[in-house]
Structure 1
Amino acid sequence: MNSITHQRSRRSRVRHSRRAIVLVLVMVVVTMVSLAGFSFVASMSNENKAVHLRGEQLRMENAIASAEEFLKIYVQRSKPDADSTPGSSPFAQLTGPGGDNESLMRGVVVDEDGPKSRIRFTAIAPRYDETGAATLQYGLERESNRLDLRSVADWENRRPGSGKMALLGLPGMTESIADALLDWMDSDSAPRQSGAEMDFYASLNPPYSPRNGIPESLEELLLIKGITRELLFGRDADQNHRLDYEEQSSSTGTARDTNGERQWPWIELLTIYSNEQNRTRDGKPRINLNHPDIRELHRLLSESFAPSFAAYVVLFRQNGPALNTRPGVAVGTAPLDFTKSARYRISSALDLLQSRVQIGAIPGQGTIVECPLTINPEGSHELLMQMYDDLTVSPLPFLKGRVNINTAPAEVLRSLPGLDKALAEQIVAARSGTGNTEKSHDDHPYWIYSEGLVDISRLKELSPFLTVGGDTHRTQIVAFSERSRLSQRVELVLDASEKPTRRVMWKDLQVLGRGFPWDAIDTPGGISASQFGAGNAASVGY
């Protein structure tokens, strides 16, 4: 009996044990299925988020492309056209490139997928005052605010040493770096006194060859002997044209050196893209004073200037300037001979002012003809404006590398041949002084003579390097999503010197972050600004 009871108890324990195992197995299976389900749900959720984020990234990429096309149209239509009616452009009443157009360039909605899912873009450029403080402006800045390395190379070729002097005007530049930079750009293989050519670069690890030409980008300057990231980019780590608080407190240096010089990064002062049309403010071709056809030159000048001036230019081209101090006669008394070829090339329209011509090959004999144009600082504005706007000495349709005297910083102005630090500071002070808003500085760069900063001889020396315009523009475009706080940032340079406007430089700044606080790129009171706050710290200039 006990044996039977024991067997039954044993069978019962086995059945219960089997049931427990099955229950555990069922629980394990259920748990695994649940985990697999949760994993699938999480994976699908992440995939869904990734798809939406990628979708917003694509929308922002499209927004940047749209912003670029808009800016191309903007800079093109802001330019006068010889065939258009004044004021006919829809942008005619807006501030031109280089000005602040907040209503047109800030927080522009490009793609709208609901009230809280909009993609916007903002175009931002820096503006510097005479103290070096940086503020933001909405729109573009002219490349003519910068020193063009192509011009520096040309100056050095024409007059050895002039290019080096121009580079030495940059803050932090040394003679050895200037020599190395010029060696990088020139076509020969002979190093300058402190420069570097193939022998030096071939000894590096890894070795490479110098460009022996104009750099293709400013970042290429980092390959040149002696040029460091600090010299090129300064402490502006995110390249937003200004020093944020954390950058300002960096231990890499101060904003000024021991001599009180501002330590501007060269990326803000140099360019390889500056360009402008060789046309009048109305979009018409300028008159080339070195036109090969003397008769045609006389006809063109007679349409815009007095007949006496047209005749004098012909005599000047045929005979050249006279150094004789004998009394001269009026230009109308000297007959014109259009069969006589031109033998003298005019280097600047201002060379005609206060000049004289001797008709006759024998020195000290012949007729001296006086220039019909008279000039003095007090009454020269209209004459200088017309000469600047209507006349040129180049047959080229475009002029490269001229510096905007009204907006370029002193560190760029003082790099121009014949323009020293003292004069650069006087120019900056004169253009930013109280009451200068009523002065016609925008008409021509020769106002420095009208206001007594230079005499006529120095103005003639400086005139080939100066402008008050420029058709190449730089900006940073920030596209952002109101919903996800994602953003993308690029920097580009647009050349509007010919139609259609073309992009000549594109730099992806995404790796450096948004660069600007939300309340700077969004519209005032916008969703991004009010929902997420300012984000970045306030910033200060160099």
Structure 2
Amino acid sequence: MIMNTNAKATLTTRSSQRTTVHLGQPPAGDFGRAIPASGTHRQPSRAAPLRGRSWRPRRAPRRPAFILLLVLIVVVMASLAALNFSRSMLNSHESAQLSSSRLQARMCAESGAQAVRLFLSYTKNERLEQGGTWENDLFYARNVIPDTAAARRGNYTIISPALDEMGNYTGIRYGLQNESAKLNLNTLVQLDSLAASGDLAASATSELAGGDTAGLDGLASEAGAEDLLSGLASEATATTASSFATNMLLALPGMTEDIADAILDWIDEDDLPRPYGAEFDDYYSQVQTPYKPANGPIESIEQLLLVRGVTAELLFGYDADRNGFLDQAETTRMNNGMMAGAMPGQAATMNMDPNATPPPPLGWAQYLTLHSMEKNVDAYGLPRININGDDLETLYAELVEVLGNEEWASFIVAYRFGGKPGGNGSSPLVTLASMAAADSSAEDGALGSQLGSLQAAGEQLNAADQGQAQPWSMAAFDAIDLTQAGSVTFNQVLDVIDGTITLPQGNNEVTYTSPFASGPIELAFSTPLLMENLTTVDATAIPGRIDIMNCPHEILRGIPGLSDEIVDEILIARTDGSDSETRNYETWLVVEGLITMDEMRALLPLITCGGDVFKAQIVGYLEGSASFSRIEAIVSGAGDIPEILFFRRMDHLGRGFDIPTLGQRLDATLPGGSMMQ
């Protein structure tokens, strides 16, 4: 038993001596002691130290930081992905904001177009009560999107070219541009039809010559008078009327006769070239890519670029951004003779071609239109009375109501039975041709003399009738059967002034003079009533006449028969501040003595003092943002419901005006509200 215990102790001691202690610490003394068996007395013993071996600490195994580096790379990549995602979201947000701003600006501009439609739905008097169309705060910085932040506050402004007191384009104004203040190309070509109506003038003149021709110089007999006046009327009108349209175009700055004739050849229906014009056979068939002229109404002013000789520089001038106003850069190009769009350093066109005609500053586009029209209603929006109506009983009742004078109403109705065509018997066409010839060069002096003789003959014949006539009376009207249809139609409302009617009385005929006299005082009282309430056609609108109160002076000077002196008087009258009622109608020219009544009759188909079709250049914008939308719209108020005849976006040409010019509405700060009044 003792031996077994000692043996175990020895084994334990040897085993303890082989035990290795880690981390550089020597083995504890307890490790060298034998563990006695259970129930056995433990004897202390000392293990002998190991000889020939030195104690060394055990090294830990190497563990490289690859995992940490991998984690770092993953974190960086995730961060970059998050950054790119954030940037993408920010870009998408900014893009969405930009798209939203552009859409808002576009909606502001289109709101302006609808506001113009609403404004033109009012009657003429209602428009004037709200400030009119020329310069009106309703067209300046009208708020559509109220907000406290300028970047979210949206407005629209309507801008048009302004005219100075001499009728020159200069500056801008906040209003609409009357298309009747321009030359209507589609109706201009219809002046050529006046040449064909020379036969009508001759016919009317023959009727005059069929009367008493005694006392007329150079007329030996009634037959001779008829032949002379008929032939002279036909020749004169055919010669002069054919040049009306060309001369009106030649009044435009930079226009030449060959381009004017080419434009008219492009629009007229025939294939016969004018003296300096161009048709398909002689020009357009020979270009590199042949094409045919329209030979009918054109649909846009830009279509003129297809006409021989018409260039973009002539059509749009130096106004590169088409805003109707020359900025500093455009003015510099014009002063240096540089065409619009020329690059810096490019040689001036004037230096390259000394004979080159500089284009007008704003181009011909500012002088031409395709849409001018006037609504055939009175200032309250009521249809005018057609004095050529078939129901004469109803006509008489309506005339008494609007004129308030039975004598006037009865004479107008009686005129339908025995009136002299053309009012006092003169031909408006002959008068117009005479006016144009009198204002032309000396080489047309013979024609002017002939036309003057023709006009004088008509006046003398009428004077002879007037000398044998008696004043109109209601007693003569009582003998007229209003259930019968009238045999005479009015050419124009002014036919009643100084007119005569011849009615049967027993076996004789009696001639009566008109109660509408042509004296200045009488005209000042009668013409506003006549022009406001009466018409000779059932048409809802009258196209093509020129608004003499708002057109540039070049258009005025191109109207046949208006001399430079008359044009200057018109320009002075436009700025003298007069609020006379007669100035609302084109007949103010004869009321104030600028022209005669015969000349007024001749000019009446060409001129007016109104118009119901307007061009609007509308800029929608956000005050604190670069977003904008610029549109050009032509809106017609000549129908029952105003409609947009032409619509074009002009964003590609820039905003056109800076924010201070367009206007800011710092008071429009109520979200959900509106500054529209």
User: Where on the TM-score scale, by shorter chain, does this alignment land: which range?
Assistant: 0.7 to 0.9
Task: Look up the SS of the partner of 1:478 in the other structure.
Answer: strand
Q: Which runs of 5 or more structure 2 residues have no equivalent in the other structure?
A: 1-61, 196-241, 341-354, 426-460, 669-677
Q: Compared with structure 1, are the counterparts of its residues 175 and 40 closer, same or farther at alpha carbon in structure 2 (3 Å cutoff)?
A: same
Alignment partner, residue 86 of structure 1:
none
Alignment partner, residue 314 of structure 1:
413
The code of the aligned residue for 1:115 comes to: A
Deviations 1:52-96 (A, max 9, x none): 10011111122222222222112213545xxxxxxxx7x773112
1:441, distance to aligned residue in structure 2 (A)? 5.2
For the pair 1:497 / 2:638, whether they are aligned, the reply is yes
Decide which moves more: 392-401 or 71-80: 71-80
TM-score (norm 1): 0.82
Deviations 1:418-460 (A, max 9, x none): 3344422321122223xx3343454322112222211222111
Q: Compared with structure 1, are the counterparts of its residues 351 and 268 closer, same or farther at alpha carbon in structure 2 (3 Å cutoff)?
A: same
Decide which moves more: 329-338 or 61-70: 329-338
Which structure: larger Rg?
Answer: 2
Alignment partner, residue 568 of structure 2:
425
Higher helix share: 2
Deviations 1:366-416 (A, max 9, x none): 322111112322452121111111111222111112222221122122333
1:268 to 341, 344, 366: 366
Q: Compared with structure 1, are the counterparts of its residues 412 and 368 closer, same or farther at alpha carbon in structure 2 (3 Å cutoff)?
A: same
For residues 170 and 184 of structure 1, the distance between their equivalents in structure 2, rounded to whole angstroms, comes to 18
Task: Look up the SS of the partner of 2:632 in the other structure.
Answer: strand
For residues 339 and 498 of structure 2, the distance between their equivalents in structure 1, rounded to whole angstroms, comes to 48
Alignment partner, residue 57 of structure 1:
102
2:247 to 154, 157, 165: 165
The aligned runs of 1:73-88 (5 Å cut-off) are 73-79=118-124
For residues 194 and 32 of structure 1, the distance between their equivalents in structure 2, rounded to whole angstroms, comes to 77
1:146 to 150, 160, 182: 182
Q: Compared with structure 1, are the counterparts of its residues 465 and 133 closer, same or farther at alpha carbon in structure 2 (3 Å cutoff)?
A: closer
1:35, distance to aligned residue in structure 2 (A)? 4.6
How many residues are matched?
496
Alignment partner, residue 109 of structure 1:
143
1:37, distance to aligned residue in structure 2 (A)? 4.2
Alignment partner, residue 215 of structure 1:
298
Alignment partner, residue 465 of structure 1:
606
The aligned runs of 1:131-530 (5 Å cut-off) are 131=166, 132-159=168-195, 160-199=242-281, 200-250=283-333, 251-252=336-337, 265-305=363-403, 306-321=405-420, 323-324=461-462, 325=464, 326-332=467-473, 334=476, 335-338=479-482, 341-359=485-503, 366-433=509-576, 436-440=577-581, 442-523=583-664
1:263, distance to aligned residue in structure 2 (A)? 5.4
Q: Compared with structure 1, are the counterparts of its residues 318 and 471 closer, same or farther at alpha carbon in structure 2 (3 Å cutoff)?
A: same
Alignment partner, residue 40 of structure 1:
85
Task: Look up the SS of the partner of 2:648 in the other structure.
Answer: strand
For residues 378 and 261 of structure 1, the distance between their equivalents in structure 2, rounded to whole angstroms, comes to 46
For residues 216 and 31 of structure 1, the distance between their equivalents in structure 2, rounded to whole angstroms, comes to 64
1:291, distance to aligned residue in structure 2 (A)? 2.0
Alignment partner, residue 434 of structure 2:
none
The code of the aligned residue for 1:109 comes to: N
For residues 366 and 105 of structure 1, the distance between their equivalents in structure 2, rounded to whole angstroms, comes to 61
1:126, distance to aligned residue in structure 2 (A)? 2.3
For residues 611 and 643 of structure 2, the distance between their equivalents in structure 1, rounded to whole angstroms, comes to 15
Q: Compared with structure 1, are the counterparts of its residues 282 and 28 closer, same or farther at alpha carbon in structure 2 (3 Å cutoff)?
A: same
Q: Compared with structure 1, are the counterparts of its residues 49 and 262 closer, same or farther at alpha carbon in structure 2 (3 Å cutoff)?
A: closer
Task: Look up the SS of the partner of 1:464 in the other structure.
Answer: coil
Q: CA RMSD in A?
A: 3.2
Deviations 1:114-152 (A, max 9, x none): 533211111222221233252332232221211112220
The code of the aligned residue for 1:252 comes to: G
Equivalent pairs: percent with the same residue?
31
Is the contact between residue 419 and residue 462 of structure 1 (CA under 8 Å) also seen in structure 2? Answer: no
For residues 158 and 356 of structure 1, the distance between their equivalents in structure 2, rounded to whole angstroms, comes to 26
Task: Look up the SS of the partner of 2:558 in the other structure.
Answer: coil
For residues 134 and 281 of structure 1, the distance between their equivalents in structure 2, rounded to whole angstroms, comes to 30
Task: Look up the SS of the partner of 1:77 in the other structure.
Answer: coil
For residues 358 and 269 of structure 2, the distance between their equivalents in structure 1, rounded to whole angstroms, comes to 37
Q: Compared with structure 1, are the counterparts of its residues 459 and 261 closer, same or farther at alpha carbon in structure 2 (3 Å cutoff)?
A: farther
1:505, distance to aligned residue in structure 2 (A)? 0.9
Decide which moves more: 509-518 or 158-167: 158-167
Q: Compared with structure 1, are the counterparts of its residues 430 and 135 closer, same or farther at alpha carbon in structure 2 (3 Å cutoff)?
A: same
The code of the aligned residue for 2:120 comes to: V
For residues 291 and 147 of structure 2, the distance between their equivalents in structure 1, rounded to whole angstroms, comes to 50
Is the contact between residue 235 and residue 252 of structure 1 (CA under 8 Å) also seen in structure 2? Answer: no
Is the contact between residue 118 and residue 482 of structure 1 (CA under 8 Å) also seen in structure 2? Answer: yes
For residues 83 and 255 of structure 2, the distance between their equivalents in structure 1, rounded to whole angstroms, comes to 62
1:180, distance to aligned residue in structure 2 (A)? 1.2
Decide which moves more: 114-123 or 49-58: 114-123
TM-score (norm 2): 0.67
The code of the aligned residue for 1:461 comes to: A
Is the contact between residue 171 and residue 264 of structure 1 (CA under 8 Å) also seen in structure 2? Answer: no
For residues 492 and 141 of structure 2, the distance between their equivalents in structure 1, rounded to whole angstroms, comes to 45
The code of the aligned residue for 1:110 comes to: V
2:159 to 124, 133, 138: 124
Task: Look up the SS of the partner of 1:220 in the other structure.
Answer: helix
Is the contact between residue 384 and residue 446 of structure 1 (CA under 8 Å) also seen in structure 2? Answer: yes
The code of the aligned residue for 1:297 comes to: L
- The list of structure 1 runs, each at least 4 consecutive aligned residues, that deviate by more than 4 angstroms after superposition, is 22-37, 257-264, 524-527
Is the contact between residue 478 and residue 489 of structure 1 (CA under 8 Å) also seen in structure 2? Answer: yes
Is the contact between residue 376 and residue 541 of structure 2 (CA under 8 Å) also seen in structure 1? Answer: yes
Task: Look up the SS of the partner of 1:249 in the other structure.
Answer: helix
For residues 258 and 221 of structure 1, the distance between their equivalents in structure 2, rounded to whole angstroms, comes to 20
Is the contact between residue 528 and residue 582 of structure 2 (CA under 8 Å) also seen in structure 1? Answer: no
Q: Compared with structure 1, are the counterparts of its residues 25 and 201 closer, same or farther at alpha carbon in structure 2 (3 Å cutoff)?
A: farther
Q: Which runs of 5 or more structure 1 residues have no equivalent in the other structure?
A: 1-14, 81-88, 528-542
The code of the aligned residue for 2:186 comes to: R
Deviations 1:478-535 (A, max 9, x none): 11113322211111111112232111111211111111121111237789xxxxxxxx
1:30, distance to aligned residue in structure 2 (A)? 6.3
1:33, distance to aligned residue in structure 2 (A)? 5.3
Is the contact between residue 106 and residue 523 of structure 1 (CA under 8 Å) also seen in structure 2? Answer: no
The code of the aligned residue for 2:192 comes to: E
Q: Compared with structure 1, are the counterparts of its residues 441 and 135 closer, same or farther at alpha carbon in structure 2 (3 Å cutoff)?
A: farther
Q: Compared with structure 1, are the counterparts of its residues 252 and 213 closer, same or farther at alpha carbon in structure 2 (3 Å cutoff)?
A: farther
